[in-house]
Chain A
Amino acid sequence: MSKDKRCPVNEMKLEFPGRSINEGFARAAIAGFAAQLDPTLDEINDIKTAVSEAVTNSIVHAYPDKIGRVMLRGRIFEDGVLEITVKDWGIGIEDVRKARAPMFTTGNEERSGMGFTIMESFMDKLYVRSKVGKGTTVRMLKRIAPRNTAR
């Protein structure tokens, strides 16, 4: 996973137990943080959807039998790039490539297997790093263009 060595202009970090009620909390938190980039309603919706998918994956798949910790970090860079990291310390993903394929799921009927596909298409970049027994880190980037320039 490529690390951004640049200095962010702003940063936030949250940690919460992986209860499903916190999916809505994570969405609200990232929407509040991203608001300073003056995103459009469509962009804010894309970001909320991608975070919802990543956090739900941690809650459902990383901790199948317990409530574990989930970390959400947001960073903003000078060029208007929003970086979002969702990390868990759960069971990990054996085959990340397979997990990222559309319609693949290890979950039950509440899951569609479209989580990674949505993160990938709603954000500009998606990086997934996982180690079995150690946990999973999802890092996503999206550039929010300033509104007064060509859009």
Chain B
Amino acid sequence: MKINVRDTEDGLVIQLSGELDHHAAKNALKEIADATEELVPTICTLDMSEVTFMDSSGIAVVLGLYRKMSEVGGKVIVKNAPPGAMKVFNTAGLERIVTFE
């Protein structure tokens, strides 16, 4: 899994590419924590357009980001999640706390 972090005018954009499973989640959580702590954004967008597979580890990653952003009153947007990932998010009811675009 590749993780690309960009500090943009519209807030922090984290682009994930590849397979998001338990094997990849630990590193993803660490990079997300590092980026949010350093930049303290008010909006963080998780771009999932290049995610080719995701299991429940993706729920943990989004919840981890949500917790980090909540600490500073920030907002999380999950963008372009593929249908398979969306099905996993919906099973967990994540649409109740995170904005999906």
Chain A residues at the B interface, C-beta cutoff of 8 Å: 20-21, 23-24, 27, 42, 45-46, 48-49, 52-53, 56, 59-60, 102, 109-112, 114-115, 117-118, 121-122
Interface of chain A: mostly helix, strand, loop or mixed: helix
3 closest residue pairs by CB, A with B:
A20-B23, A112-B59, A45-B84
- Contact residues of B: prevailing secondary structure: helix
Known: A20-B21, A20-B22, A56-B22. 13 other contacts (CB 8 A): A23-B23, A24-B21, A49-B84, A52-B21, A52-B22, A53-B56, A56-B55, A60-B22, A109-B29, A112-B63, A114-B56, A114-B88, A122-B87
Pairs A–B under 8 Å by Cβ, sample size 13: A23-B22, A46-B87, A49-B53, A53-B56, A60-B22, A110-B22, A110-B29, A110-B57, A111-B22, A112-B57, A112-B63, A112-B92, A122-B87
CB < 8 Å neighbour of B59 from A20, A23, A52, A114: A114
Q: Say if the beta carbon of B60 comes within 8 Å of chain A.
A: yes
B11 within 8 A of A: no
Task: Known contacts A48-B53, A56-B55; decide if A114 and B22 are in contact (CB<8 Å).
Answer: no
A114 and B91 contact, Cβ closer than 8 Å, known pairs A23-B21, A24-B19: yes
Known: A21-B23, A23-B23, A118-B91. Contact between A52 and B64, CB under 8 A? no
**Chain B window 62-73, contacts with chain A (Cβ cutoff 8 Å), 1 for yes, 0 for no:** 011000000000
Q: Which one of B22, B56, B84, B92 has the highest number of Cβ atoms from chain A below 10 Å of its Cβ?
A: B56
Name the residue on A nearest B54 (C-beta). A49
Known contacts A49-B84, A117-B91: A110-B55 contact under CB 8 Å:
no
Cβ–Cβ contact A109 & B60, under 8 A: yes
| B29 pairs with A112, CB closer than 8 A | no
For residue B23, which residues in chain A have a CB less than 8 angstroms away from its CB? 20-21, 23-24
**Nearest chain A residue, comparing its CB with the CB of B63:** A112
Contacts of B64 in A (CB 8 A): 109
